[in-house]
Every structure is written in C-alpha cells, then in structure tokens.
Amino acid sequence: MSDSGAGEPTSIDGPELLERAAAWLAQDPDGETRAELRGIISAVESGDATATADLADRFDGRLAFGTAGLRGELGAGSNRMNRVLVSQAAAGLAAYILEKAGTDADAALAPMVVIGYDGRRNSDVFARDSAEIFAGAGLRVMLLPRMLPTPVLAFAVRAVGAAAGVMVTASHNPPNDNGYKVYLGGESDGSQIVAPADAEIAAHIQRVADTTAVGDLPRSLAIETAPESLIDAYVAATATVATAPPSAEGMRWVYTAMHGVGWETLSRVLDAAGYPAPTPVPAQLEPDGTFPTVAFPNPEEPGAMDLAFEAARDSEAELIIANDPDADRLAVAIPDPTAQSRWRRLSGNEIGLLLGWRAAKRASGAEGESLACSLVSSPALGAVAEHYQLDFHTTLTGFKWISRAPGMIYGYEEALGYLVNPGTVRDKDGISAAVAMLGMAAEARGEGRSVADLLTEFGETFGWFASDQVSIRVDDVSTIARIMSALRAEHPSKIAGTGVVRVDDLLTGVDSLPRGDVLRFWLDDGSRVIVRPSGTEPKLKAYLDVRADSQDAANERVAAVAKSVRKLFGKLS
C-alpha cells in the first residue's frame, strides 16, 4: 500500500483525488464501502487534513497484482481490497485465460475456473462476484460448496483439469485483510502463478479498470457447485499420506484451527487415516473472520498459541498441532519443562527438516527425485538429500517456485509451509503436513520416544544446525528499499565478529535462481545471512543459519549473529 500518513503531502492534488474517488463511488456495488467513502469525501471537502491523507492512501496508486495475486486491507479505494477491485481482477483474469486458451467464449468446451474461499470477511462475496464475472465472460465456473481450506482449492484445480483456480484468502494476515490467490492448470499443473503470467494478468486487469465500469461487466449465474465427491477425493488422498500405526492409539494431542476453516476437513482426514481425535481449542475451532482471541491469526506470532498451550497443559498432551486460518500452514509444539508455558513451538525449519527426513527415508536413492526448499530455509535439507542420495534444489521464496523444482517429492519453506504430497497438491498444505507429523509422532511413540528425541537424532545424523530470523516492521515502506540500497552500496565486512567472505545479489543473477530483491551474505565460518523484503507485509527480514559441533554451540552462534544483524538494521534504519 501507499505509505502516506496523516497530514503528509500527496502526489495528486485535491481536485484529482476527489475525481478519482467520485468515479470509484459511481461503480461500487457495495453499500458498506460506498458509505465509508462518502464519509471520507465529505470530510475532505470540509478541509480535514487527516481525511485527505486517508483518501490519498486509498487512491494514489492501485493494489498491485503480482505472483502472490492480490492481498491488502479491506476498504474503499483502488489501494484496498473491495468488490470493485476484485471484479476488475476477475474480468482481467478471464480475458487472460481465454487469450491463452484461444477458445471462443461461446464454445462448448470453454476453459474452467475453480473458485474457493475461506472464512474471512467478504471472502464469500468476492468469490461469488468472481464466479458471476467468469461465467459472464464465457468460462465454465465451478464454485466450491462452502468455505474450505486453500489446499482443497489447489487440489481441485488439478482434479477437474481446470485452466485456473482462485482462492479468496489472506491466509495469516491481520483480521481486516483479504486476498486473491491465483493458480494455473496446464503446464503449471495447479501451481501458483509466476512471471510472466502475473504481469500479463495485471495488464488485462488494468485494461478493464481503464475502459469498463464494474456495472457494465457481463455476469452470468451459470455456475456449477463443486460436488461433494471432489472434497471426498481430497480427504481420501490426504489420509494416505500417513495412516495411523497401532501406536497412535491413545495418543493425546491438541488442535487449534486459529479461527479458520481447517477443522472440518482435518477431522474427516483423521477419521479416514485412523488417528484419535484431538483435544480441541473450542474458542478457535470454528471459522470466525473477526479472529476474536488473537491479534494476528498466525501461529508464529507471540500469544497466538497461548490457548493451545493451556489446553495441552490441562489434558497432559504429547503434541500440539495448529493450522493457520486457511489451513495451508502447520505449526507444531512439544512439551518443554524449561519454557515458561511448559511448551515450545517448533520452528518452521525444525518441522520442515523432520518432514524432509521422513520423505527422504521413503525415497532413498531414487533416481531423479529431489528435496526442495526456499533459499531462506535451512541448508540442512541439503545434507538430508545428500545422505539419502537424492537431488536437492533451492528456490526463491514461495511455493510457486518450490512446486516447480524438478523431481520434487517434498518441499518446504521456513514460514510453516510444507508440501508433502506433490502428487495431490502442488502447494503448501497444512492438512497433509499435520497427518505426516502425526504419523512421525505416533511411530516414535511406538518406540518409546518423542518428537524431541527425533530432533536429537536428526542432529546426531546430519549435524547440528540452528536458524533464526530478525525482522523490522516499518510504517514507511520506502525504508525497506533504502536499507537494501545501503547494503548493496556498502556490504558489512563482518557479522558477529566473523568476516563476510562472499555476497550474492540476486538482483544481478545468481546460479540458476530467478532474479529477486535478495542479498545473501556468506561468513567465514560457514554461517549464512539472507536479507529480503517480505512479500506480504511491510517488513524487512533477515534469515540466519549456522552449523556447529553441538546444538548448544549452534544456538549460541545463531544468537550472536542475530544480535549483530539487529544492530546493523538499527544503524541503517
């Protein structure tokens, strides 16, 4: 979004600003956002400087469509998520699909689009608007029958041979956000969009916005509702990821859906796979787009899993499993008597490495098969691949890249995303990952061991790794670009007292990776620091990875690197 603050000057003058707002108001079909915008316009006309800055933030620019689709705050304006913006996006995407298919809009075999949505505010409205506009453009349209997890939509794109899929979700973003995620069929095989498709779709969307009022877009009610057999097929395929061993009987564990849509689908998968039902976190089990018990509906955020820790203590659980609101991510926590809560949430790397180890064991030595992770995830996955004589690939962040790694049988990124069944879903999937983790925990339980014991065995087998992350959240997004420019202009010579021996700038091209706004610093002791802007939040992130002779030494070393990076960020910001 634009970073204008209250009372700051805008790049467009008052009359033009009001003209843009009036044009938007004339085509907005939503009574709530119309009333919101009328109130702001009235305040601007009365000379309110804060309202003027607000209006500029809403209209001085447009919420960009990229490889992550659309994502932003709900509200009126071209720089917000709303029915006007979504309708324009749907019309532009429809034009792109028809252009690529070379299909007459009236042809009997028109391309199909599948649409899913989660429980966030307006997700169902945005999904219905999209469905009617796709149908009005002459596409076949299949709408999932109710709010469902993102992995079910990703599965459906492949299962029905759709040309594209749309999932209306903002995943783990703040409560007042929503988003629009696009998948492509055909050669993309149900993966999320990558360049140049994003720019081509964006160009179509812009053409629609420039030439056609939303009320003039053709609509149709010729929309199919996806059959229950499609959801049944996802459940059946996911249950085979890890059927429950006998040792799963009596296993005590806690589950939270984080006010999202995961529980209905996961509960069916658990029944099919034979796992005992969890102790739920009742206050977070059902979909609620207001997310009343958490400030950020993200298991990584401090406090988000406190209710799960409480339930686990009360039930003397062995394990906690959490999904984010659209259930494409997985969080895991294990007992830890040294922690204040007596529970410790595993890092995304710890979970990802355990699941990667599981996949590698099953594919040991298989020719052409590979493990893959994003470049900011732990390099320990490469050690696992080497141990089991598998190929290994690092990619840019995002499952749009991980899912395209050659021969990939498993992929992950440290932000709690895991792809454990690429034959079924070509995206991160918190439901299948939960089943895989339950399978590992149950098998260890049968040997009298715990998940903590598995982590120890991993270190003894592959080496002792530690990872951490340092991030700064900014009010002015230009701060991020300024810090990245400063780091490019003058690289740090040392980090945590250790010399920087190589710097990779992905903007200029490195290895076979696509270009991106990423800097990778290699230290003399083998440690690695990667700096990049967040793709979904106004944050600058640094990802830290070290390897040492013991876990304690690795933990101490990564803490020192983190302290040094925080100091560096503070100096540059």
**Pick the catalytic residue: 2, 87, 123, 171?**
171
How far is Cα 561 from Cα 545, in angstroms, rounded to an integer?
9
Cα distances from 544 to residues 415, 527, 557, in angstroms, run: 13, 8, 10
**Distance, CA of 557 to CA of 571 (rounded, Å):** 22
Tokens of 514: 């696509």
Q: In what order do the strands lie in the sheet with 519-523?
A: 464-473, 539-548, 528-533, 519-523, 498-505, 494-495
Contact present, 255 and 318 (Cβ < 8 Å): no
> 31: which residues sit within 8 A by CB, 6+ positions away?
none
Name the token pair of 262: 């995961």
Question: Is 171 one of the annotated active-site residues of the chain?
Answer: yes
CA nearest to 100, candidates 141, 152, 139, 70 = 139
274 dihedral zone (left: phi>0; alpha: psi -120 to 50; beta)? left
Q: Measured in whole angstroms, how far is the alpha carbon of residue 504 from the centre of its chain? A: 25
d(CA 500, CA 526) in angstroms, rounded, equals 10
Q: How far is CA 433 from CA 38, 242, 328, 352, 415, in A?
A: 46, 10, 9, 9, 13
Contact 318, 448 (CB under 8 A): no
Q: Measured between alpha carbons, how far is 333 from 309 in angstroms, rounded to an integer?
A: 8
Distance in angstroms (rounded) separating the CA atoms of residues 466 and 378: 8
Q: What are phi and psi of 57, to 5 degrees?
A: -60, -30
CB 93 within 8 A of CB 35: no
425 and 419 Cβ atoms separated by less than 8 Å:
yes
- Residues 115/129, Cβ–Cβ less than 8 Å: no
User: Strand 70-73 and strand 177-184: pairing?
Assistant: antiparallel
Cβ atoms within 10 Å, residue 13: 11
Q: Quick one: which of 89, 230, 100 has its CA closest to 158?
A: 230
Active-site positions read: 171
